Structure 1
Amino acid sequence: MEEHWRGPLYPARLPSFHRIPAPAGLADRARWIWIPEWNLANGRTSRQELLPFPALNLVVEPDGVRPYGPATRRAFRDLTGRGWAVGLLLRPAAVPFLCADPGALKDTDAALDLPGLRHPVTRAMAAGEINDDGGTHRTAAAAAASEWLALEVPAPAPEGLLANRFEELIESDVSLTRVDQAAALLSVSVRTLQRVVRKHVGLPPLAMIRRYRLQEAADRLRTNPGLGIADVAADLGYADHAHLTDVFREVLGFTPSGYRRSAERGDGK
């Protein structure tokens, strides 16, 4: 799967959407800055459905700044009118500096008073609403968000780097399905890994592993119509077709075959 589309369940329904990689010096604190913009006709609604990353997003919108905690289920947002958002997909190492208890934000969000982030990002995005500047406003907004992150969130300590390595490991190795496997590869105990991940993500390590596997399964079903569902299940560590179907129903509310059909149509129905 192209990482650009990991997360959105129906990419064809996205508004103008851009992901800008975090500057190299901040890659240990943020993966990328994502910027959707939309301008919908009166009475029209665009529902965006997501299987979110098991991570914390810090999001600037015209009315404020909100951290969105790790999600355990399908998420959606209905877009209307005209608007934008600028989000930072944070690496685990950055989370404790912004949220003492990320688990308290599971499946929810909160307001943060961060004028040093909100004001420069809002000014940059407002320039794009006034003029069609070819994306210069997005570049400026991403630069403002990056500058704020560099000033406010220090370079990670060893524990934060361990949490980052766990994230990288489970994303890159689809054969990894158990916490003890990850702990052995990272040369730490299972208990240490559980403590570090809860502190930096707010979820158990196994929940993170399962989310990445489900994201990968959804991508393969959407992008490779000829691939059998049983083959997807076997390759990603599910016991069988029925196991993958149960997980799809529990987290997403539909079956793998139902998702494949709706993704082919691009309508989510």
Structure 2
Amino acid sequence: MKIHDDLAKEVTVTDLGDGRGVLYPVRLPTFHRVPAPVELTQLVRWFWIPRWNLAPGRTSRQQLLPFPASNLVVQTDGVTLSGPTSGASHRDLQGSGWAVGALLRPAGVTSLSDDPRSIRDDEVPYDAPGLHRDVVAAMSDDDEEAGRAAAVAAFVAWAGEHLATPGESALLANAMEDVIASDRGIVRVEQVADHLGTSVRGVQRLAARHVGLPPLAIIRRYRLQEAAQRLREDSTLTVARVAADLGYADQAHLAADFRRVLGLAPSDYRRDPDHAPG
């Protein structure tokens, strides 16, 4: 479904920060990201708060290539735990609404799911009535800025009480995520194992226990996110240069990855980065 031109004028984008994972930024509703406080940085990457108010009959399709991670999300109708996705995803927004989510670090998942692989590509109810009550109350504030701040404060307080202090394995899983996310030269699981001083099998166990995706899928997700962002934001870069910079064997491999996950070629995405393919 294509977004209508006039709908694009009805949404605004603020405080995007890390733009990876957002395929069509113009479609975002009002959107804020708030970094986790120091005491939660090993458990939560950031809190994200979209709010939308669309004209009757309008639909905004949010197309994403999500971070390889799980999210704990509060909305008016309850709390859900969204597992990691194996590919791109979308959500259709209509009417008015909001959400307050926490993007979880690998160490943060352990307290909420015994096996994140079981919720891959799924969104399941999560029993947290106190969190739901406090966030809903905060988001009902007529002062949206004050409401956001209070909602995040409530989420931080709940997380501090309910997310377990990470152990050695969880912290090593965080280190795995950090090296994959920050080092564009990482294209093989063996490289991650070398960085962590462990075996390939050890990396595979960390990814299964704390992320729910194979480590190679995590690597490819970050590289593909970065490819899409660079194609969208820098028109001077050729597809071949992006492929080389991100460790793809050649342009054809990047194009194949794009088509497999996103359903279109890199050149088509670059040509019209504000709209979905028809």
Q: TM-score range by the shorter chain?
A: over 0.9
Query: Percent identity, aligned pairs only?
Result: 54
Structure 2 match to 1:187: 197
Match of 1:62 among 65, 69, 76: 76
Name the CA distance, whole Å, in 1 between partners of 2:123 and 2:210.
16
Structure 2 match to 1:223: 233
Structure 2 match to 1:136: 146
Match of 1:10 among 3, 14, 24: 24
Alignment of 1:43-192 (within 5 A): 43-127=57-141, 131=142, 133-192=143-202
Per-residue deviation, residues 49-68 of structure 1 (Å, max 9, x unmatched): 00000000111011011111
Alignment of 1:213 with 2:234, yes or no, is no
Cα distance, 1:234 vs. partner?
1.1
Name the CA distance, whole Å, in 2 between partners of 1:3 and 1:254.
26
Per-residue deviation, residues 17-67 of structure 1 (Å, max 9, x unmatched): 000000111000000000000011100111110000000011101101111
Aligned in 2, Cα 1:59/1:134: closer, same or farther, shift over 3 Å? closer
Matched-pair contact (CA < 8 Å) for 1:179–1:206: yes
Matched-pair contact (CA < 8 Å) for 1:229–1:256: yes
Q: Secondary structure at the match of 2:72?
A: strand
Structure 2 match to 1:202: 212
Amino acid at match of 1:111: P
Match of 2:255 among 245, 248, 267: 245
Normalised by the size of structure 2, how large is the TM-score? 0.92
Structural RMSD (CA): 1.0
Cα distance, 1:112 vs. partner?
1.2
Structure 1 match to 2:38: 24
Normalised by the size of structure 1, how large is the TM-score? 0.95
Name the CA distance, whole Å, in 2 between partners of 1:105 and 1:259.
30
Name the CA distance, whole Å, in 1 between partners of 2:144 and 2:98.
16
Name the CA distance, whole Å, in 1 between partners of 2:252 and 2:204.
29
Structure 1 match to 2:271: 261
Cα distance, 1:134 vs. partner?
4.8
Name the CA distance, whole Å, in 2 between partners of 1:47 and 1:23.
31
Alignment of 1:26-45 (within 5 A): 26-45=40-59
Name the CA distance, whole Å, in 2 between partners of 1:4 and 1:220.
12
Q: Secondary structure at the match of 2:166?
A: coil
Cα distance, 1:16 vs. partner?
0.3
Matched-pair contact (CA < 8 Å) for 2:17–2:33: no
Q: Secondary structure at the match of 1:136?
A: helix
Name the CA distance, whole Å, in 1 between partners of 2:228 and 2:19.
11
Per-residue deviation, residues 149-202 of structure 1 (Å, max 9, x unmatched): 000012210100000001010111100111111111111111111111100000
Cα distance, 1:4 vs. partner?
2.9
Cα distance, 1:3 vs. partner?
4.2
Amino acid at match of 2:56: N
Amino acid at match of 1:230: A
